[in-house]
Structure 1
């Protein structure tokens, strides 16, 4: 290792002789690119002609043409049929937020959970998961964990693992949580039922699974399914705004979400383009970053309150 190198070029600090690795596809380089000793990538071989870009293109080809090899999340989202993009469905355009907050972790993202994989209840025979393909395209070394009422286990593989789970059931949530190591998820995205009760119950039960400095996202805060009793539950957006501004909930908090406030490093609200244009509503998506350097007296997950 050469500690005194001050070249303006990027530098692979593991070993100068490992230039052959740049000729391998990116999917084979996880151990190298995520090694703690790698602080950048040596581009000396960029003077050589790169192989044409394709799914298994050499890593050096993608480094030379970064816009082609590593398109931003917004560009990728436009290729998939999800409402995170700018053109189809409800056009929430959340992709811009994920790109802003997660782009620095593109090669280091290891595990991401998304709750809600179906495009709609009417599509009962859905045989694909566009959002999973989107995450996997953006994070080449990431395993995606999917949670949904629909059984997608037929699609399971080394980079995708699915669970059938009802967000409104504390038993279902705890059954899933029991199979996942605490603090092992880099990102959790709740795009499920959108009911405030379900969102807050899931946040309470799954937040311990999130790693320090990890992000917990809740989408579509301005839509509530029919039957939500707002006399018994504070809307999630309002509750999290109170925690952000006051440090605790001021309104009814039956699931004890405010007990998590000490673990929130920051709470950020972003607009859904659809809701902003349709109803002038601000803050359709919330991003919660988990505080780092916390002390954990034991590995068992403390349960806060009871769900009725």
Structure 2
């Protein structure tokens, strides 16, 4: 019988900031594990296939701050998922090479999530593969998040979960400075807020084709319980999860600017 170690324990083991702490005492954890476990615990013994965008390895194209101390080699999250899904296959992409993390159940690819050409090339390599879950923990740029969602959505199975972490308010009409900012499109957080409120898709955005929105079945905002006091939750401390609401996942309303997780499923 496989011991079902909690996702929180596995996050701590691998120093993933999806748990209560990151690779150093100064690195605040996001405590997403409660939300993730509520959605995924019934699937953890299934032979799931998942994709994570953003491995958290530093290299020539992007500085991954989380790749330090106990997580100096990066890849904390994919290691956590490999342990959590005992029979699962974990694919992962990053703009920096991460072949040192490859195992029989982890396969990494070098892909720029902001490049349509590279995303389409990845899809060709994955011909016939369909994902149960896709997690975007990449650059956190709105234009990259939206481009990736549009192109990877067809690879998601029906009733699959599409998860975007680290939504912020860096976008058109908001802040645009810093490496997470883009003046070319509205932030993903703002875009989905408006879509859920009115059904309208704000422009400018990072989509060439929005027809896939008709396949979004459910949507619900959530927020993980922070380890720290609420004064620590600032403008960038927002996260988004796209997937189906299930028993055990609380639904909460928050003040403007405090949405942290949004849950959608593919029809």
With normalisation by structure 2, the TM-score equals 0.75
> Alignment length, in residue pairs?
224
Tell me the CA shift for residue 126 of structure 1.
5.0
Match of 2:195 in 1: 243
1:287 maps to 263
Say yes or no: does 1:133 pair with 2:79: yes
Equivalent residue, structure 1, for 2:119: 173
Structure with max Cα Rg: 1
Residues 132-211 of structure 1: matches in 2 within 5 Å? Answer: 132-181=78-127, 184-211=130-157
Contact 1:219 1:286 in 2 (8 A): no
**Gap change, CA 1:150 and 1:171, over 3 Å in 2:** same
- Structure having the higher helix fraction is 1
1:77-99 CA-partner distances (Å, limit 9, x unpaired): 22221110113333111111110
Residues 38-66 of structure 1: CA deviation (Å, up to 9, x unaligned): xxxxxxxxxxxxxxxxxxxxx2xx4xxxx
Unaligned runs of 5+ in 2: 171-176, 236-256
Decide whether the 8 Å contact of 1:92 with 1:275 is kept in 2: no
CA contact (8 A) 2:146 2:205 kept: no
Residues 200 and 255 of structure 1 are in contact (CA less than 8 Å); yes or no, is this contact kept in structure 2? yes
Specify the alignment match of 1:255 in structure 2: 207
Alignment partner of 1:75 is 2:9 = yes
Q: Does 2:221 match 1:269? A: yes
Q: Tell me the distance in 2 between the aligned counterparts of 1:205 and 1:92.
A: 27
The one of the two structures with greater contact order (alpha-carbon pairs below 8 A, sep at least 6) is 2
CA distance in 2 between counterparts of 1:289 and 1:275 reads 31
Equivalent residues of 2:57, 2:73 under 8 A apart: no
Q: SS of the residue aligned with 2:233?
A: helix
Q: What is the TM-score when the length of structure 1 is the normalising length?
A: 0.66
Partner of 1:97: 35
Q: Which deviates more, 195-204 or 237-246? A: 237-246
What corresponds to 1:215 in structure 2? 161
- The structure-2 alpha-carbon separation of the partners of 1:182 and 1:247, relative to structure 1 and needing over 3 Å to count, comes to farther
CA deviation profile, 1:16-45 (whole Å, cap 9, x unmatched): xxxxxxxxxxxxxxxxxxxxxxxxxxxxxx
RMSD: 2.5
Question: In the aligned structure 1, how far is the partner of 2:53 from the partner of 2:182?
Answer: 22
Offset, 1:195: 0.3
Cα distance in 2 for partners of 1:229, 1:196 equals 7
Quick one: structure 1 residues 126 and 170, their matched pair in 2 at CA, closer, same or farther if it must change by over 3 Å? farther
Following TM superposition, by how much is the alpha carbon of 1:252 offset from its aligned partner in structure 2, in angstroms? Answer: 3.0
Q: Quickly say closer, same or farther: Cα 1:181–1:81, change in 2 above 3 A.
A: same
* Unaligned stretches of 5+ residues in structure 1: 1-58, 63-68, 292-308
Cα distance change of structure 1 residues 143 and 254 upon mapping to structure 2, 3 Å threshold: closer
TM-aligned CA distance change 1:212 to 1:182, over 3 Å: farther
Contact 1:248-1:258 at 8 Å conserved across structures: no
